[in-house]
Structure 1
Amino acid sequence: MRFNLGEALQRASRTDDAIEAYREALKLDAKLNVARVNLGKALAEKGLNGEAKETLREATRQKLGDTEAHYNLGVLLMRENDLDGAIAEYQRTLAAAPKHASAHNNMGVAFNEKGDPRKATDAFLKAIAADPKFAEAHFNLGLAYYQLGDFARATKAFEKAVVLEPQRSSGPYTQLGHLYLTQGKKKQAVEAFKTAIEKSAEDGKKTTEAYQGLARAWLSLGKADEAVATLKTAVGAFPKDASARAAYGEALRAKGDLDGAIAEYEEGVKLAPTPENRLALADVYAQKRVGAKAQPLYKALLDEDPTNRAAKLALADLLLAMGDYVAAEGLLKPKDGEEADTAALARLGIVHSRRGRPELAVSELEAVVAKDPAQLEARAELGFIYLRGGDGAKARKVLTSVLSVDPRHSLGLLYMGHTLYQQGNTKGAEKSFRNAVQADPNFAEPHNALGQLLEATKRIDEAKDAYKMAVQLQPDHPDARDALKRLTASAPKP
């Protein structure tokens, strides 16, 4: 009676009273092992893990092969991250009850935590064989297959979990969304993530993962507005989640709202000042050409970790954009015994080009482009060197190849404009310069080049506007600044 009362109290969430009832039952009958097992479970519910563990160990001693005692002890050990101890207890459970589905399932979870998805897969399959309607085991099997890179089987497992628990399970829908994205099924991914968000309100497992997945799915479909709206909702629901802030910032950046992106990245850094978050903030500052804020962030990251390649290359790009070629060269030049990678050599070749060393730049950039054609900046710079050397046809061929890969490559568009202008195609040059301005509104040089073209074609007012914008973006731009002074001084007096 005491034991039955304890069970009733535990079901009613009156755990303290249930513990007392189980203790009383054991005083009356010390061999009532089922009361000891339930007492251990109730103590674990209260967070009294030490006493719970000892109680369950006593239960295994009192009755060898007690499946529930071993199983619950395994659950407790797994909570404490004692994976080997948990696996041993699940094995003892299964020795006594080979079709204990939950023990097979939990054993699989433990193997997954240990980084062995193959053993985990075997355990989940045994759990499903013991209970084909065990939705959690199907879900966990999907995770294991996903880790093994078997996306087809993973998809089937998650879809089965959804069929078995359509009303309350958000997890499988989230994982399905990720899988659909991996497989290029973008529209299915959108629907899966939407459903995950809806279900998460019901199952109490609301996280930003589904929101971020939905945003990525929208971006993959080219729908930046929908991605931004999704992440705005996520940030509203989870204002202290740094990953949601970072994802929102990324979406705003993709949409071209750099000020909005900076605000989100700054909040994300306050919440979690990880190297990744600080690098993302520095990158968007650099994209906006706010070197005074980007440069200290990059330098701090490199002070902390001199091997941070992403920060090093990004700082080099910033220095190149600022025209500080000496500092960029010092950063990129390999130290004694150090071998520069292709990305660093590409930037070093650009430095040599802009410092008037074409004999060095050509050989370096040609070697980089031959080894890694994806280095578009290097290819664009090489095309411009060919142009300066008088080979306009070769320059145009190289720059056309850059723009065929990325039609919005701002440097490629700028250099193509110069090439077309030199070949007498003023209309095409103007279009290329304007496209460069649209591709990167914060890049001063295309505005200056456009100003030069407009001035040469006697469109003085338009030229002044272009020079003004170049100076606004880069106050120390000597050519634009001098041209603006010259045109302002020569303007007729009213």
Structure 2
Amino acid sequence: MSASLPKTTAHVVAEEFNRAIDSHQKGKLDRAKRGYKRVLQSAPNHASAIHLLGVLDLQRGNPEAAAALIEKAIGIDPNMAAAHYNLARCRKLLGQLQAALASADHCLSITPDDLDALLLKGNALNELERPEEAITTFSEVLELNPDLSPVRGARICLYLGQGRTNAAALDMAYIIENTDDPVSVLNSVAAKLLDQGDNENALKVLEKATDTDPSDKHTLSLIAGALIDLDRNTDALPIVKQLLDDDPDDVLAQLKMGFLLANLKRFKDALPILQGVLKHRPEDSALLLKLAYTHQSLEQFDEAIAYYEKLKILEPTEARTWSNLVGLYVGLEDYEKAIDEGMEALRINPNVEQSYLNLAVMFQRLGDFDKAADLYRRAVEVNPNYSTAGSNLAHLLLAHGKIEDGWDLYAHGFAAGLRLPLRQFNTDLWRGEDIADRTILAWKEQGIGDDVRFASCYPDLIQRAGHVIIETDARLVPLYQRSFPQASVRAQRTDPSLVPVGPPDFSTHTPAGQLPTIFRRSLDAFPAEDGYLKPDPERVAYWREKVEAAGEGIRVGLAWRSMHQNVSRNRTYTELEDWARLIATPGITAINLQYDDPSDEVRAFAEKTGLTLHIMDGIDLKDDLDDAAALSKACDLVISAGTSVADMAAAVGTPAMFYGENRHPMQLGTDHFPWYPSARFIGIGPKQPVSEIVDIITSDVQAFAARYLDGEFK
């Protein structure tokens, strides 16, 4: 206040100011504002009145106007600690964290023990990701008031983020010993960690909460949510079941059950639960997205599209909805709609990596290599850790003959969850160094067909290593033992309940799919002959006798689909009836190699067409792979969709014709599979009906059969 004012005026101003403060404290903000302005009419440089006018603006949600007034007040009286604190509040609300820190420090330079200023400073430091300074500041707060549980909770989060688990444990112990409801406090800390995406540390806090009260429903619900977010759905399942047993009407528990079942790919079980929850939460975006995904996975595409369209209305700025529709329409081969949705996704938000990926998949399907590669690279630019894009780019490069570049990116498949299982060992991964005096473990990854294909590299590995241990599917062990007698072959050990005893019997390891990245970096690195797998010669002779007894001419093994089917895969599979013209051809005897027990299908086919596909008795084509290999070898020719049947036939040296998606990565830019010199691959182009492929194969085999009947091969 100006010292030059007459005493009587000063007295009037003081009374007016006190009345304004009284109104302010009673929440009568308009009256307070009028009072402060009357003060300023008499005393224009009344710093406190200007400051409190700014506080009124701050209370009414206008921090920008408030900051201007408070800065003016500080210019008149720079020693007003409260003004510096309130300016810090304004600046923090405006996102000016560095300026907020400076104002808080000004306040603390005047009143070092100002609890509110210390707390604001600690929170600002936390938001600025300066954890050590934030911990120091929160510690100062707790020295002044050790029972401020939210501050102790914030310090726990920071300690855990720094890996200081012992310090965090001490704070949690203090909460348990000194608060009336420690479980609620710990739950709040865990919830904050969950909001930050730190599920692992949230579980550490929740473990302390369950130690205090094992039956607290909120704690159990938070644990289940954290486990689901960590994709530990099987661990979450019994907890959610317990919550629903205690309260079947718990909508949040129902939601968690629906989510985890969908994550476990139990879509038929998840769907009715999610639909039931929708009645209570009709505008829950996460629920609608999961319902769309579930319907899409069940190939109920109209329902999935309906949910995506609803999401567009609810969240018009969420690009992932449009991006997901790209993937759906690509699967349906509706590329025009896929492009429209993809372009809209990028317009809404050009920083969503999945949008680039889904469009890349579409252009790859359409055969536009350059555009697909560019989009995959854009996805990685947006998110360098987006391994799915890296893996897809690897496959694209391989498919177009960029072999070295493709193999160099191939390891992304593990992080993307596309190369499974990812096994961990306490030994180094082999990267091609000299291992002439070492033992290496080569372990199976992906499916049977992949493993059979990668096994073509085992002779190279055996030459390089002191000793090789091969772990593969138990069904392949006899075949591999016979084929690679210099190696030790055993069944894969992927059961997590099996605990190794003693040191490993190998000093380095490699997934089987990594071997071609070392041994097959160019086309001339592939062997000129196949037949590297050696079926039991006695069983080959046995089955040769059986297939010869089945009929005259050439004996053609036939498989027309995989066990694993979906809309995208099915376009490259056939039906048994598609092969009727081939089976009816004189000079051809068709032998079943379809391994998913097609007996009913074969019977119906025979009744409808009068044709016979011979099913060999006494063989389990799915589980007895050693015998299946012998039967494949006993055939003169094998025709198959792109399944393990084709790989097995080619690997044992039987001429094979197989078909699948055009530009398969394992073609490595050629028109064939370099892995199998005696095999022929027929690619199915975009929008090309598979019937055209059937006609090509049928005509070629018929011509071969005619030459056989003419005695050309006798």
TM superposition score normalised by structure 1: 0.60
1:169 aligns with 2:254: no
- Aligned pairs, how many? 403
Residue deviations 1:431-464 (CA, integer Å, cap 9, x gap): 122121399999xxxx985665334324733999
Paired with 2:302 and 2:170, the residues of 1 have a C-alpha distance of: 42
The CA deviation at 1:125 is 4.2
Q: Tell me if the contact between 2:40 and 2:46 (Cα under 8 Å) persists in the aligned partners.
A: yes
User: 441, 454, 457: which is aligned to 1:457?
Assistant: 454
Paired with 2:392 and 2:170, the residues of 1 have a C-alpha distance of: 38
Q: Tell me if the contact between 2:391 and 2:412 (Cα under 8 Å) persists in the aligned partners.
A: yes
Q: Tell me if the contact between 2:138 and 2:155 (Cα under 8 Å) persists in the aligned partners.
A: no
1:330 aligns with 2:306: yes
Paired with 1:326 and 1:467, the residues of 2 have a C-alpha distance of: 39
Deviates further, 357-366 or 309-318: 309-318
Which runs of no fewer than 5 residues in structure 2 stay unpaired? 1-9, 238-255, 260-269, 423-443, 456-470, 477-490, 497-561, 566-593, 598-619, 628-714
Higher strand share: 2
Q: Which has the higher contact order (CA 8 A, sep 6+)?
A: 2
The CA deviation at 1:246 is 1.7
1:399 aligns to what? 376
Cα 1:257–1:212, aligned 2, differ >3 Å: closer, same or farther?
Answer: closer
Paired with 2:227 and 2:302, the residues of 1 have a C-alpha distance of: 21
The CA deviation at 1:163 is 1.5
User: 364, 383, 386: which is aligned to 1:409?
Assistant: 386
1:435 aligns to what? 415
1:190 aligns to what? 132
Q: Give the letter for the 2:79 counterpart.
A: K
1:489 aligns with 2:465: no
1:6 aligns to what? none
User: 336, 342, 355: which is aligned to 1:378?
Assistant: 355
State the secondary structure of the residue aligned to 1:138: helix
Higher helix share: 1
1:160 aligns to what? 106
Paired with 2:420 and 2:39, the residues of 1 have a C-alpha distance of: 64
Paired with 1:456 and 1:228, the residues of 2 have a C-alpha distance of: 50
Q: Give the letter for the 1:490 counterpart.
A: D
Q: Tell me if the contact between 2:85 and 2:107 (Cα under 8 Å) persists in the aligned partners.
A: yes
Q: Tell me if the contact between 1:74 and 1:90 (Cα under 8 Å) persists in the aligned partners.
A: yes
Paired with 1:387 and 1:128, the residues of 2 have a C-alpha distance of: 63
Residue deviations 1:391-445 (CA, integer Å, cap 9, x gap): 4454333223322332332532453454355456685575122121399999xxx
Paired with 1:214 and 1:181, the residues of 2 have a C-alpha distance of: 12
Residue deviations 1:267-294 (CA, integer Å, cap 9, x gap): 9x9669xxxx99x949955955677343
The CA deviation at 1:139 is 0.7
Residue deviations 1:102-128 (CA, integer Å, cap 9, x gap): 555444322211223355335534654
Cα 1:260–1:327, aligned 2, differ >3 Å: closer, same or farther?
Answer: farther
1:350 aligns to what? 327
Match runs of 1:283-322 below 5 Å: 284-285=228-229, 287-288=231-232, 292-294=257-259, 303=279, 306-309=282-285, 312-313=288-289, 315-316=291-292
User: 82, 93, 97: which is aligned to 2:28?
Assistant: 82
The CA deviation at 1:255 is 6.2
User: 180, 184, 194: which is aligned to 1:249?
Assistant: 194
Cα 1:362–1:110, aligned 2, differ >3 Å: closer, same or farther?
Answer: closer
The CA deviation at 1:233 is 4.3
Q: Tell me if the contact between 1:121 and 1:141 (Cα under 8 Å) persists in the aligned partners.
A: yes
Paired with 2:225 and 2:44, the residues of 1 have a C-alpha distance of: 54
Q: Tell me if the contact between 1:316 and 1:347 (Cα under 8 Å) persists in the aligned partners.
A: no
Match runs of 1:25-36 below 5 Å: none
Match runs of 1:72-151 below 5 Å: 74-75=20-21, 77-91=23-37, 104-121=50-67, 123-125=69-71, 128=74, 131-148=77-94
Identity rate of aligned residues, in percent? Answer: 18
Cα 1:103–1:157, aligned 2, differ >3 Å: closer, same or farther?
Answer: same
Which runs of no fewer than 5 residues in structure 1 stay unpaired? 1-63, 470-476
Q: Give the letter for the 1:387 counterpart.
A: Q
Paired with 2:395 and 2:136, the residues of 1 have a C-alpha distance of: 48
Cα 1:146–1:359, aligned 2, differ >3 Å: closer, same or farther?
Answer: closer
Paired with 2:200 and 2:391, the residues of 1 have a C-alpha distance of: 20
State the secondary structure of the residue aligned to 1:333: helix
The CA deviation at 1:346 is 1.7
Residue deviations 1:322-372 (CA, integer Å, cap 9, x gap): 876554222013699999654322221211122343443244325534664
Paired with 1:308 and 1:338, the residues of 2 have a C-alpha distance of: 9
The CA deviation at 1:248 is 2.1
Paired with 2:166 and 2:302, the residues of 1 have a C-alpha distance of: 40
State the secondary structure of the residue aligned to 1:225: coil
1:34 aligns to what? none
Paired with 2:595 and 2:284, the residues of 1 have a C-alpha distance of: 40
1:479 aligns with 2:564: yes
Paired with 1:380 and 1:190, the residues of 2 have a C-alpha distance of: 39
Larger radius of gyration: 2
The CA deviation at 1:135 is 1.7
2:608 aligns to what? none
Q: Tell me if the contact between 1:349 and 1:360 (Cα under 8 Å) persists in the aligned partners.
A: yes
Residue deviations 1:11-52 (CA, integer Å, cap 9, x gap): xxxxxxxxxxxxxxxxxxxxxxxxxxxxxxxxxxxxxxxxxx
The CA deviation at 1:141 is 1.7
Paired with 2:447 and 2:393, the residues of 1 have a C-alpha distance of: 12
Paired with 1:103 and 1:374, the residues of 2 have a C-alpha distance of: 47
Paired with 1:240 and 1:383, the residues of 2 have a C-alpha distance of: 47
Q: Tell me if the contact between 2:190 and 2:203 (Cα under 8 Å) persists in the aligned partners.
A: no
Paired with 2:163 and 2:418, the residues of 1 have a C-alpha distance of: 19
The CA deviation at 1:210 is 7.8
Q: Tell me if the contact between 1:118 and 1:144 (Cα under 8 Å) persists in the aligned partners.
A: yes
1:240 aligns with 2:184: yes
Paired with 1:148 and 1:176, the residues of 2 have a C-alpha distance of: 15
Paired with 1:320 and 1:215, the residues of 2 have a C-alpha distance of: 38
The CA deviation at 1:160 is 0.7
Cα 1:97–1:437, aligned 2, differ >3 Å: closer, same or farther?
Answer: same
